[in-house]
């Protein structure tokens, strides 16, 4: 959990504090607990901690997701039930395939620019 990571991009502490008060970012992810059992989650992340969260998540190993924000939904397995997916779309404009769709959109734009 590192707030300073965004400062290297020119953000001030005041700007990060304002972002934390005004904006939330909902992220879908899957991890394994200490017993090796897989679970899915939706995490409401404070913007000032997002880069630190992404770095920790990508490095693997043990990560305390609650230190980066509030868990707003979770369950066992790798895919949430349809009703949870729909609730996340309706209430938070978030879906578990957001990252995949975003990468596909960027790829399509890049192809058009070539």
String of DSSP letters for 9-34: GT--HHHHHHHHHH--EEEEEEEE-T
User: Is residue 109 over pLDDT 60?
Assistant: yes
Enter the tokens of residue 112: 């058009």
Q: What value does the mean pLDDT take over residues 89-97?
A: 79
Kind plus residue range of the DSSP H or E element containing 59: helix 50-59
pLDDT at residue 1 in the model: 44
pLDDT at residue 94 in the model: 80
pTM of this prediction exceeds 0.85 = no
Nearest Cα residue to 27 out of 46, 9, 48? 46
| pLDDT tens-digit readout, 63-79 | 889 998 999 999 999 99
pLDDT at residue 77 in the model: 95
User: Taking a C-beta distance cutoff of 8 angstroms, is the pair 47, 23 a contact?
Assistant: yes
User: Is residue 108 over pLDDT 70?
Assistant: no
User: Is residue 96 over pLDDT 70?
Assistant: no
108: left (phi over 0), alpha (psi -120 to 50) or beta: alpha
| Domain count for the chain | 1
The vertex-78 CA angle with 106 and 39, nearest 5°, equals 120
Q: What value does the mean pLDDT take over residues 51-57?
A: 84
Q: What is the DSSP letter of 75?
A: E
User: Is residue 49 over pLDDT 60?
Assistant: yes
Q: Which domain holds residue 38?
A: 3-113
């Amino acid at each position: 959990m590192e707030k300073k990571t965004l400062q290297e991009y020119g953000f001030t502490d005041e700007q990060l504090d304002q972002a934390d008060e005004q904006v939330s970012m909902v992220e879908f992810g899957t991890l394994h607990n200490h017993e090796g059992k897989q679970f899915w989650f939706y995490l409401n992340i404070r913007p000032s901690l997002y880069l630190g969260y992404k770095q920790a998540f990508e490095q693997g190993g043990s990560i305390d997701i609650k230190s980066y924000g509030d868990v707003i939904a979770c369950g066992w397995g790798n895919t949430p039930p349809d009703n949870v997916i729909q609730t996340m779309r309706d209430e938070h404009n978030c879906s578990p395939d957001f990252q995949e769709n975003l990468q596909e959109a960027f790829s399509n734009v890049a192809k058009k620019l070539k």
